Amino acid sequence: MAVKGLDKLQKKLKALPDQVRKDIHEAMKQGAEELTQMQRRLAPVDSGALRDSIGYTFGNFQADNANVRGVTAGSKIGDTELSVTIHAGDAKAFYAAFVEFGTVDQNGQPYFFPAYRSLSRRIKGRISRATTKAAKKVAGSGK
């Protein structure tokens, strides 16, 4: 028994992962930008080193100097293109965790996790919509 349109369906299914990966990567990048911008706005500024150390990295993050990095999102299959880590702290801003969480003598001035809690639902929704949109785009294409 022959299935009508099987070739078209197989092509669409083959195209799905690439399209989905591209769209999800873009949604993750947009979310990472939005999150790090808010964290920079919330970070207390003295020399600006802490603010300037806040960033994000796609792929396998090497925590050379970053000492606050509680936000890592990514694929469960180890796809480095779909893994992003938000981080703060470097050689100049080694005190990033002290500022976020405080010390025995100093109260914390949270900037990292409040931004995450504020934006996480929006970012997750954006990634979910990108996945759905990519799947519909591939399914609806005449390839």
Phi, psi of 57, deg, nearest 5: -135, 130
124 within a domain of the structure (yes/no):
yes
User: What tens digit of pLDDT does each residue of 122-134 get?
Assistant: 999 998 898 888 8
User: What tens digit of pLDDT does each residue of 67-93 get?
Assistant: 666 555 555 545 667 788 888 988 888
- Alpha-carbon distance of 21 to 14, in angstroms, equals 12
Could you list the residue range(s) of the whole structural domain that residue 57 is in?
Answer: 20-141
Helix or strand or coil: residue 7?
A: helix
pTM of the model: 0.78
Residue 139 near residue 9, CB atoms below 8 Å: no
11 within a domain of the structure (yes/no):
no
Share of the chain above pLDDT 70, in %: 73
Question: What average pLDDT score do residues 43-63 get?
Answer: 87
Per the structure, the count of domains in the chain is 1
Please tell me the predicted confidence (pLDDT) of residue 1.
Answer: 45
DSSP-assigned letter for residue 122: H
Could you tell me which of 40, 36, 67 has the C-alpha nearest to residue 51? 40
* pLDDT surpassing 50 at residue 120: yes
103 within a domain of the structure (yes/no):
yes
Please tell me the predicted confidence (pLDDT) of residue 85.
Answer: 85
7 within a domain of the structure (yes/no):
no
Q: Map tokens 């990048």 to a residue.
A: 29
One-letter amino acid identity for 95? Y
Please tell me the predicted confidence (pLDDT) of residue 130.
Answer: 87
95 within a domain of the structure (yes/no):
yes
5 within a domain of the structure (yes/no):
no
Could you tell me which of 85, 113, 82 has the C-alpha nearest to residue 97? 113
6 within a domain of the structure (yes/no):
no
54 within a domain of the structure (yes/no):
yes
- Alpha-carbon distance of 18 to 15, in angstroms, equals 6
User: What tens digit of pLDDT does each residue of 8-49 get?
Assistant: 766 765 666 777 788 888 999 999 999 999 999 999 999 999
How many beta carbons lie within 10 A of that of residue 45, not counting itself? 11
